Amino acid sequence: MHPECVEEKARILMSRLGPTLGMHGGVLAGGTGLALHLGQCISGDLEFFAQRAFRPSDILEELRALAGVVESVAMGDDAMTVQADGARLLLMQTTARFAEPTTRVNGCDVAGVMDIAAMKLMTIVQNGTRSDFVDLYVVLQALPFRRVARNALERYGMTALEPLVVGKGLVWFEHADVQGDPVYVGTPVRWDHIKDFFRSSLRQFVFDLDAERQALERG
């Protein structure tokens, strides 16, 4: 694991709040979860996902008792975002189970690489950031897209991943083009190279996704 890839403020917040969020079922995923596994970029946002229901107002009170400064609070029925001690923290309820075992790091349960990659795929389909594309690109240098697709299909359902929609999302860069690169650890990857990777792989990715859908439908 690569705790050095988490910004210091976020790393401190993890140790303070991680055990409490874990009691509510919170699992750390997102770019920071992936950076802990792969060490590809420096990350600072803490994105926790919980399968069971929670009351944001109750958790907010717990966070205020543990963190020094809690501000910029936004709460919904099943999600909350806070700025705590200089780091951004998100807690959101999800119906998608985590398929892989979690890993305990700095007081937090961290989702597995495949689970996070599937979540990144879902985010990209819905309009991903440049960091989302970078993260998925890094994963796909070591893991086949077909396995990521199967994980996503099993967790989110067939209707959430229509091949044509996924195909369009994987090469829609209008939003990401105007954003900056993440802070890489080691040699940066050119954004044009990442776009070329997804464009050149698109046909195979759509084929793989459709093949996994058919395999799951056959049982």
Render pLDDT for 168-178 as a digit per residue (tens, 0 to 9).
999 999 999 99
Tokens of 139: 């994963």
Please give the model's pTM, rounded to 2 decimal places.
0.95
Instruction: Check residue 67 and give its pLDDT.
Output: 86
The HSE-up count of residue 49 (CA atoms within 13 Å, CB side) is 18
User: Which is nearest to 131 in space by CA: 88, 183, 90?
Assistant: 183
Q: How big is the chain by its Cα radius of gyration, in Å?
A: 17
Instruction: Check residue 72 and give its pLDDT.
Output: 76
Q: Which residues contact 204 (CB under 8 A, 6 or more apart)?
A: 145
Instruction: Check residue 69 and give its pLDDT.
Output: 87
Instruction: Check residue 131 and give its pLDDT.
Output: 98
Q: What are the start-end ranges of the E strands in 160-207?
A: 183-184
Instruction: Check residue 219 and give its pLDDT.
Output: 77
**Domains plus CATH for the chain?**
3-111 (3.10.450.620), 114-218 (no CATH)
The HSE-up count of residue 116 (CA atoms within 13 Å, CB side) is 32
Q: Which residues contact 186 (CB under 8 A, 6 or more apart)?
A: none
Write the CA distances from 186 to 1, 38, 180, 209, integer angstroms: 16, 12, 17, 32
Ranges of the chain with pLDDT below 50: none
With contact defined as beta carbons under 8 Å apart, do 136 and 124 qualify?
A: yes
C-alpha–C-alpha distance, residues 201 and 4, integer Å: 32
Tokens of 147: 């396995």
Instruction: Check residue 4 and give its pLDDT.
Output: 95
